[in-house]
Structure 1
């Protein structure tokens, strides 16, 4: 058995990384991944834990001697089960190969968590793969495992580059959305200010009109009172 381990820090928040994970494929770098199909998706009763099962289809160049061992096909399938836990703030993806598993088994675990030193802005990526070959001769097993580790390393590098490209695109999209929202908020604020000014002017005009009306009412009331007094004296 061979063990492959990898670690990387993304300069994005865990929330951004988790959202971008569902948009990771297809991308222009990881061309070996040709399809991703969702088989199952479940949300627990608390609404905090999302479990997804996906079938990943890969197509890549394979050495002739490997093609002969696995049956002469360069198409392979991988089953992936991921768990997003909002309570723990973790995204864990576990996968294993379905194709050629009688000859080679690859168990991979990927984990995304907020970086311990900067949890608001950075995300820690941890990857581990256990690669085990099954063959009659040890020399053949070693050769298969060595080739698999090298290929896994290449794909991991492509995966990182591809994810980086997706993050750049999504980050610009998020910033554009933020600018639109900020613009809308600014417009709303301006409208509220204008409405307040209009309301203040209306209230002031109403107050002035009410004051004049009250004055006129006083004049009319006094005049009416004097008229009644004069009529009473005349009688």
Structure 2
């Protein structure tokens, strides 16, 4: 089993970051993500907690020989994600697990966006993942886990960079919208 942990600070408020998260895909940095489908969405009227289940289709470039050995015939892979937004605690927690070939290699990831503990104008992003080769892979488990953790680290860095670009665009759009609303209010008040 291999572990990956990362913490990053975004220079924007939690409300902007958590809203921009839903615009994360597609983006030019994460071209491996082909589709994101919402399977279920529930809002608890008492707590305001929103729970969303999504199916994410990714295309990982796995060498053909490895795919044949593992019994796969496509680079398309599927990931199940459960997102929980708690507006009172100001947390967005996402838990995901691969569905494709999970008996050979299991990847469990948890991401949390929360208000930065030292600056409420920032958002703290924490990410951790556990990668485990299945029992059928005992002889190659360490090699497979090492390869997978390196790939995960690369994808995490690219994903964070891509989300930063999406977040920047989202903030610009939000500011423009706010300016337009203020302009309309002023115009209405002048009449």
Which category describes the TM-score, using the shorter chain as reference length?
Answer: over 0.9
Matches within 5 A, 1:42-57: 42-46=42-46, 48-57=48-57
Tell me the distance in 2 between the aligned counterparts of 1:51 and 1:108: 17
| Structure 2 counterparts to residues 1-235 of structure 1, below 5 A | 1-46=1-46, 48-67=48-67, 68-119=69-120, 121-136=121-136, 138-191=138-191
1:28-75 superposed Cα distances (whole Å, 9 cap, x missing partner): 110000000000000013151000000000012113443122523211
* Residue aligning to 1:227: none
**RMSD of aligned Cα (Å):** 1.4
Q: Distance in 1 between matches of 2:136 and 2:41?
A: 40
Q: Give the secondary-structure state (helix, strand or coil) at the position aligned to 2:24.
A: coil
Give the secondary-structure state (helix, strand or coil) at the position aligned to 1:111: strand
CA distance in 2: counterparts of 1:88 and 1:163, whole angstroms? 22
TM-score normalised over the length of structure 1:
0.77
* Separation (CA, whole Å) in 2 of partners of 1:13 and 1:40: 27
Q: Highest Rg: 1 or 2?
A: 1
> 1:187–1:99: structure 2 CA closer, same or farther, 3 Å change rule?
same
TM-score using structure 2 length: 0.94
Distance 2:23 2:153 in 1: 22
In structure 2, stretches of 5+ residues that fail to align are: none
Indicate conservation of the 8 Å contact 1:58/1:75, yes or no: yes
Greater share of residues in helix: 1
**Aligned counterparts of 1:189 and 1:63: Cα–Cα separation in 2:** 64
- Write the distance in 1 (CA, Å) between the matches of 2:137 and 2:53: 35
SS of the residue 2:23 aligns to: coil
- Structure with the larger strand share: 2
Q: Flag structure 1 segments of 5+ consecutive residues without an equivalent.
A: 192-235
Larger relative contact order, structure 1 or 2 (CA cutoff 8 Å, min sep 6): 2
